[in-house]
Structure 1
Amino acid sequence: MDVTVPPHDLQNSDCQKISQVLARVGEKWSILIIMFLDGGPRRFTELKRAINGISQRMLTLCLRGLERDGLVKRTVRAVMPPHVEYELTPLGRSLTEPVTALGLWASRHITDIDAARAAFDERAAVHEDELADR
């Protein structure tokens, strides 16, 4: 396996900035939002309905963060009543391939991950029982 070593001349501030971007992109809600917006512009309510389990507040916060990072564009439509649409920017669109690949990987391996978690939890419970018996 060929592993590329990151350059040693990365400044601490560069690492912090990269970490912030990866944290934003790696948020579970951000990934889902990007995947849904890949299909085209969506209204807030469409996103809320499509993303099971996300609260209105969390959706608002994630969309603001993605907009701040230049990944999502917010457009207010001057209709009665006014409504807001969100769509990916070109920068956001460039992220859809890796994000979709990550989402597909998770979907394909969720059974394996669930099995590994169950096995781990079982081993941990046995270990806790052994400690309690001492």
Structure 2
Amino acid sequence: PGSYTGQRVALTIAKTLAAISKIKIKAVSSLHGYAGKNKAISVIDARSNKIFVGVYDNNHSIIEDQVMLIDDFETFKQQYSDYPIIGDNEIVGYDKIEIDLSENIYQAAKSVDFIIDVDSLVPHYLKDVEAKKLC
């Protein structure tokens, strides 16, 4: 989850590097990247009063990454009351927790396989683009 254009640009760069060199690619959810191998609820601002949410523990996804209304978060969090919240904490009313994002992304990447066919790699969007809805 994250910026529609950001995902497309990042994938274009990664696929280009893989095509012109021996670089191997792993695809990691941004939410998983925030959590790394830690027990955590990852939250990213999805705009329009929505958030992207993922729940992780020991480098495993506990639920499928999803988008939800900010107003529904407190009820959702009750299911995972002992999980700290990381990412865009302020948007759901929690204090920011400092993390080592590069280390967490590295740890998350350890739990996924390399992409064999990079040409088939496409962005995975959890939310439609607002501009697309207007057309």
Task: Specify the TM-score bucket, using the shorter chain as the normaliser.
Answer: under 0.3
Structure number with greater Rg is 1
Q: Give 1 or 2: higher helix fraction.
A: 1
Higher RCO structure (Cα 8 Å, ≥6 apart) = 2
TM-score between both structures, scaled by the size of structure 2: 0.27
Q: Give 1 or 2: higher strand fraction.
A: 2
TM-score between both structures, scaled by the size of structure 1: 0.27
